Structure 1
Amino acid sequence: MDMDFLKAKSERSASADSPPAYGETTTRRGSLGHRVLESFQRDPNAHVTTFAPFSEGREYDIEDAATKAASSPLHRSLRGRHLQMIAIGGSIGTGLFVGSGRVLATGGPASLLIAYALIGCMLYCAVHALGEMAVIFPVAGSFAHYSTRFIDPAWGFAMGWNYALQWLAILPLEIVAASITVGYWESHISSAVWVTLFWVVIISINLFGVKGYGEAEFVFSSIKIIAVIAFIILGVILNCAGGPGGSYLGATYWRDPGAFHHGFKGLCDVFVNAGFAFAGTELVGLAAAETANPRKSLPTAVKQVFWRITLFYIVSLTLVGFLIPYTDERLINGTSTADTKASPFVISIKNAGIEVLDSVMNVVIMIAVISVGNSAVYGSSRTLAALAEQRQAPRFLAYIDRKGRPLWAICVASALGLFGFLAATDQQEVAFEWMIAISGLSSIFTWGSICLAHIRFRRAWQLQGYSLNELAFRSQAGLIGSWIGFIFNCLVLVAQFWVGFAPIGYETMSTTTLVRTFFSKYLAAPVVLLFYIAYKVRFKTKILRARDMDLRTGRRELNVQWLIKEERAQQATWPAWKKLYKFFC
C-alpha cells in the first residue's frame, strides 16, 4: 500500500484521537451531519430477506413469516402514556368533527347516534380481541399478520394490503383536509402552499422515528381531548339556554324536524361514515411491536377505548343532535368532506353567537387532521414493512434503518401524500370522493378480520392444551364479543352493498351516476377480493387448521406464569371500587 497514504491516514487519526479535554472520554462522536446520515443506514441487527422470489414458485413458508414478524428490528421506544393517547385520541379527526355533519343531514340525530353507538360497540369487541393477541404476540404487522397466522396467508395478504392502501389514501385526504380548514378564514394564499407545509410537517414528524410519532400524538391527542371535553361542557350550557340570547332547546330538534331522516336506509347509509370516524383505533395493536412493555401498557390502552367511544363520540354527538337540526343548509351544502364550515361543532358555536370560539374550534380541527395524517404515515409504513418481511410485498420495503424507521416504506407513503396537491386543482371533489371510497370500508374488513382471527386463535389455544389463565390479558368481551363483532361487520357490509346498489333517491339517478355511487361506497370490497383471489390462485394457500397453528413463535415472555399468578392474587385483595376502576381503566 502507498506509504504516503498510510502516513496521511496516521496523521488524521492522531489528530482525531488527540488527548481529550478535562472531563471528556477518549471516544468522540462524529458531527451532527455525519450521525444523521449514518442513522439512515440499515440496522446491523436487521435480517435481510433471503427467500426465493415469487417467480420461482416456492410455497409460502408461514413459519418463516412468523419468525421474521417476531424478530423485526423496529425500536421499542413507545411508552405507556404514548399508547394511551394513541388509543384515546389517535383517530379523532374529520370523521368526528366534520363528517358527522353529513351523517346528521343524511340520517337525522337518532341515526347518527345509533350508527356511531353500534360501530363503537363492535369496535370495542374488536380492539379487546386485538389486545389479547397483541399482548402475547407483539409482532410487526399485528392484525394483518394474525390473519396470515390464524386464518389463511392469502387473507393475511389481502388484509395487509387493504390496511396499507387505506392509510396511503387517507394521507393525501387529510393533507387536503388540512389545507381546506385554512379556507375557513378566507385566506388568499394558494392551497398548494398549505399542502406543502402540512406535508413537510407530517413527514418530518415520522422521520424522527417511532418516539417522535409517539410524542407528537401525545400532544395532538391531548389538545383534541381537551377540545371535545370543552365542547361537551359548552354544549350542555347552550342547550340549557346558557348562551348569549339563547333559549332552552332540550330535544326540540328531535321532534321537529324529527329524529330520523330517510328511515332505515338513512341509518344504513351512515355506517361507513361512522366506521371512517373510528378508523385508527386499531393502531394500538400495530404499535405493540414498538412498545417497551406491551404486557403492562397495552391492556390499559385497550381499556381506554370504552371512554373514547362513550365520552368523545356518543356524548358529543348527542349534544350535536340537540343543538342543530338536520335540515340546516350548511350541513347539506358543505363544499367537501373537510369543509369546516359544515362542521356541526363549528355551526353550533356560530349559532350561539359566540365570537372567536368558532376559529379556535377550527384550529383544533386542523390539528386533528394533521394528527390523523401523521397516523397515516405510521400505519401504512409499518404495515408495508411487515408485509415485505413476510414475503407479501416488494423486498426493498423491509429496509429498516439504525433508528428503527422503515425508511423506504415511509418514502412510498410520503410520495403518495403528494396527491394532496390535487387540492389546488378543480378535481379536488373527485379526488376526495375516490380517496374516501378506497378507505371507507377498509376498517370494516380490518375489524371483522381481527374478530375472526381471535376466534381462530382461541380455538387453537384450546386444542393445543393451553389454559385461558395462561393469557396475560383476556378480552373483556371474550369469545362471544368476537363473534358479535364478526357477525356485525358482515351485516354492515351487506347493508352498505344495499345502500350502494340502491342509494337514497336512486329512482331519479342516471345509470352513470348509479355506477359511480356504488363504487364510491363499495370500492374497498372488490379490491380486497382481487388481492385475496389472486394470491390464493397463485400460491394455492390453505385455510389453516387450529391444531397446526404456531402458538410459540413471537410470544413475549414465555415464562411469566408466576408473575401473572402473583398479579392476580394481588388483584383479588383489591377493594370493590378499585376492581371496578381497573376494569374500565
Structure 2
Amino acid sequence: MSFKESNLEDGYSVSSSQFQVTTKQASNDTRDKDSSFISFFKSFKVDKTEIENGVEVLTPEDSLRSYQIKLIALSSCVGSGLFISSASILSSAGPAGTVIGYSIVAVLIFFVVQALGELTSSYPVRGNFLIYNSRFIDESWAFAMNWNYCMQWIVSIPLSLVGASMTIQYWNDDINPGAWVAIFWVCICAINIFGVKGYGYGESVFSVIKVVAIIGFAILAIILIAGGGKQGYIGGKNWHPPFANGFRGTCNTLVNASFSFAGTELAAIAAAETSNPHKALLKATKQIFWRIAVFYMLSVILLCFLVPYNDPKLLGNSNSSASPFVIAISNGGINVLPSIFNAVILIALLSVANASVFATYKPLVALAEAGHGPKFLAYLDRKGRPIFSIVIALAFGLIGFVGASKNQETVFAWLLALSGLSCIFIWFSISLAQIRVNYACKVQGLDLYRPFRAIGGDYGAYLSMIINVLILIAQFYVALYPIGGQSLQASTFFQAYLATPIVLVLYVGHKLWTRNWRMYIKAKDMDLLTGRNQVDVEVALEELHDEKQRWKQNPWWYKAVDVWC
C-alpha cells in the first residue's frame, strides 16, 4: 500500500505539497549534467518508480500562483459564448429576453460555484471535482458525468480554433482557414506542452487582455448610449420591442447563455493546482462574482442598448459571423477600434482553446484513476504532466481542419450538439453532491467543520437544481417547436438535445456492464471522512481571530479591495 493510500484510509488528507519523491542520487547527478535542452525532452519520460508508488509529483514550479487563480476565475473561458454567440441570442429573443435568459443562468452559476467551493474546501481533490459523483451520488452517474464533461471540452478545442480562423476573416478572407487553424494549433501545443505551468501563464496573459478590453468596452458603451457616437443619443430606443419570438425566444436563450457561462467551474480545478487550495478558492469565488456581474451581465445589458435585435449584421439575421461587440463599436462610427476589439476576440478564442485542453486532460486522468478509461491516461512524466492525456486533447484539435471543408457547417453543428447541454448536467451534479453530503452528515450525526460555507447553503443548491431542470425542459420545448415556425425534423431535434440521450446511454450502459442496480449511495453508507480536509477547529478559529485583528489594522482602501476582490 502506498503512502498516499494508507493516510487516506486513516481519514487524513495529505496535501500534494507534502508528497516527497526520493530518487537515486546517481540519477540526480546525471540530470544535473544534462543541458537544459536535453533535460526538457527527458522530462517527458514516464517515471515508472513514481507511478508504481502511486506518488503524485508537485513542485512549486508546477503549481499555479495565487494571481493566476484570480485571473483564471475572473475571465478564463470567456470567449465565443459571450463575444459571438450572444449575437444569435439577441436576434432571437430581443433585449429583454436576452437579459432575462442571462440573469437566470447567472443566478444558477453563482450558487453552483458556491456549492463547489464548499465541496472542494472540505474534500480537496487534485485535478478534478467529478470524483464527488462517485463518492456521494452513484458510480454509474459518475461514469456518465466523467465522459460527458470530457466530451464537452474536447469538442471545444476544434470549435475554438475554427472560430479564431473565422475571426481572421474580418481582415482577410483570401487565405484558407485551414492555414490559420494550423498556426493556432501549434501555438496551443506550445503552451500546453508545459502542462499546468504553461496553462497558468498562458491564461494569465489572455485574461489580462480580456479584462482590459471588457472594462474599456463598458466605458465606451456608456459614452455611445449617452450620445457620444455618430448615432447621437441612443438611450433605450433599441429596447422597443423588448421581446422577439415571445416565450420561445426567451426559452431559446437559456442553453445559449449556459454555453457562455460554461467553464466558470474551472476555477475550482485550477485552485487545486496551488500550494494553498483553501485560500485560492476563497479568492476565486470573489472573482467569479465580478466575472458574472461585469463580464456577462453588464456587457450583455450594454449590448442590448447599442445593437437592435433586428440589426442585419447580427448572427441569426444573416450569415455574418461578426461579433455584436464589433457591430456596436462600428455603429458608433469609430474606425480603428473595431479591428482592435476583433483582435481581442481572437485572443479570447485562443484562450478558450487553451483552457479547453486543460479541462479535457484533467477529466481523462480522472477517468483512468476511477477505472472508467485506459490506465495509461493517468501516467505522469517526470514533471508531473499527464502527457498521454495532453497529447490526446491536442490531437483532437486537428478536427479543426474540417473548417476548410465544404461540409464544415454540418460537422460543427453536431460537435456543438455534443457539448450543448453537457454543462447543465455537470452543474446539476455539483449541487446534488453538496446536498447529499450535508444530508449524510445529519443522518450520521456528524458535525464536521467546513472551511468554506456556501452562500445560500442547501437552499441555493436546490434552487440551482430547479433552474437546471427548467433549462432542460425549455430546450426540449424549443427542440420540438423551433423558432420561426419551422417544421420539426429529427436532425434538428437531436442537434438541440443530443447530450441528453448520450448521458442516458452512458448511465444505463454502465449499469448493465457492472450489474450494479443500486440507484444511489445511501446516506448512512456514505464515507464522509476519507480524504476530508482535517482541520484542528480550535487552531483554525485562533488563526481566523488573528487574521481579523491584522485585517483591522490595515487602511480602509485595503479592506475594501480585500472584501470585494
Instruction: Tell me by how many angstroms 1:42 deviates.
Output: 1.9
Aligned partners of 1:203 and 1:377 also within 8 Å: no
- Match for residue 518 of structure 1 among 493, 497, 502: 493
Aligned partners of 1:227 and 1:361 also within 8 Å: yes
- Matched residues in 2 for 1:28 and 1:415: separation? 32
- Matched residues in 2 for 1:577 and 1:125: separation? 28
Residues 1:296 and 1:280: Cα distance change in structure 2 (over 3 Å): same
Residues 1:571 and 1:503: Cα distance change in structure 2 (over 3 Å): farther
Aligned to 1:294: 277
Of the structure 1 ranges 285-294 and 393-402, higher mean CA displacement relative to structure 2 is found in 285-294
Larger-Rg structure: 1
Aligned to 1:430: 410
- Matched residues in 1 for 2:547 and 2:462: separation? 29
Instruction: Tell me by how many angstroms 1:48 deviates.
Output: 4.8
- Matched residues in 2 for 1:163 and 1:441: separation? 10
Aligned partners of 1:117 and 1:314 also within 8 Å: yes
Aligned to 1:31: 35
Aligned to 1:402: 382
Residues 1:307 and 1:448: Cα distance change in structure 2 (over 3 Å): same
Aligned partners of 2:56 and 2:384 also within 8 Å: no
Instruction: Tell me by how many angstroms 1:550 deviates.
Output: 2.0
SS in 2 for 1:185: coil
Instruction: Tell me by how many angstroms 1:540 deviates.
Output: 3.0
Q: What amino acid is the match of 1:198? A: F
- Matched residues in 1 for 2:499 and 2:467: separation? 18
Residues 1:263 and 1:84: Cα distance change in structure 2 (over 3 Å): same
Confirm or deny that 1:157 pairs with 2:143. Answer: yes
Aligned to 2:525: 548
Q: What amino acid is the match of 1:446? A: I
- Matched residues in 2 for 1:417 and 1:48: separation? 31
Aligned partners of 1:136 and 1:295 also within 8 Å: no
TM-score by length of 1: 0.86
Aligned partners of 2:127 and 2:273 also within 8 Å: no
Confirm or deny that 1:102 pairs with 2:88. Answer: yes
Aligned to 1:562: 538
- Matched residues in 1 for 2:432 and 2:557: separation? 34
Residues 1:186 and 1:452: Cα distance change in structure 2 (over 3 Å): same
- Match for residue 203 of structure 2 among 214, 217, 240: 217
Aligned to 2:509: 534
Instruction: Tell me by how many angstroms 1:519 deviates.
Output: 1.0
Instruction: Tell me by how many angstroms 1:26 deviates.
Output: 11
Instruction: Tell me by how many angstroms 1:477 deviates.
Output: 2.4
Aligned partners of 2:57 and 2:383 also within 8 Å: no
Confirm or deny that 1:459 pairs with 2:442. Answer: no
- Matched residues in 2 for 1:483 and 1:110: separation? 26
CA deviation digits over 1:233-288, x for unaligned, max 9?
00000000012x33111110112xx1111111111111111011011111122223
Dislocated runs of 4+, deviation >3 Å: 25-28, 43-49, 71-76, 332-336, 462-466, 570-585
- Matched residues in 1 for 2:559 and 2:463: separation? 26
SS in 1 for 2:280: helix
- Matched residues in 2 for 1:333 and 1:500: separation? 17
Q: What amino acid is the match of 1:237? A: I
Instruction: Tell me by how many angstroms 1:47 deviates.
Output: 3.6
- Matched residues in 1 for 2:154 and 2:175: separation? 27
- Match for residue 277 of structure 1 among 246, 250, 260: 260
Q: What amino acid is the match of 1:320? A: L
TM-score by length of 2: 0.89
Aligned partners of 1:146 and 1:453 also within 8 Å: yes
Instruction: Tell me by how many angstroms 1:35 deviates.
Output: 0.9
Aligned to 1:477: 456
Aligned partners of 1:96 and 1:277 also within 8 Å: yes
SS in 1 for 2:153: helix
Aligned partners of 1:80 and 1:298 also within 8 Å: no
RMSD over aligned CA atoms reads 2.3
CA deviation digits over 1:50-93, x for unaligned, max 9?
xxxxxxxxxxxxxxxxxx8xx65466601211111111100210
Q: What amino acid is the match of 1:146? A: Y
Aligned partners of 2:91 and 2:317 also within 8 Å: no
Aligned to 1:326: 309
Confirm or deny that 1:500 pairs with 2:479. Answer: yes
Aligned to 1:134: 120
Aligned to 1:488: 467
Instruction: Tell me by how many angstroms 1:537 deviates.
Output: 1.8
Q: What amino acid is the match of 1:228? A: I
Please show how residues 12-91 of structure 1 align to structure 2 within 5 Å.
Answer: 28-43=32-47, 46-48=50-52, 72-73=56-57, 77-91=63-77
Aligned partners of 1:139 and 1:288 also within 8 Å: no
Instruction: Tell me by how many angstroms 1:228 deviates.
Output: 0.5
SS in 1 for 2:170: helix
SS in 2 for 1:290: coil
Residues 1:400 and 1:74: Cα distance change in structure 2 (over 3 Å): farther
Aligned to 2:239: 254
Residues 1:27 and 1:45: Cα distance change in structure 2 (over 3 Å): closer
Equivalent residues, number = 530
Instruction: Tell me by how many angstroms 1:31 deviates.
Output: 2.1
Instruction: Tell me by how many angstroms 1:299 deviates.
Output: 1.2
- Matched residues in 1 for 2:32 and 2:544: separation? 49
- Matched residues in 1 for 2:242 and 2:476: separation? 24
Aligned partners of 1:340 and 1:362 also within 8 Å: no
Aligned to 2:330: 350
| 5+ long unaligned stretches in structure 2 | 1-25
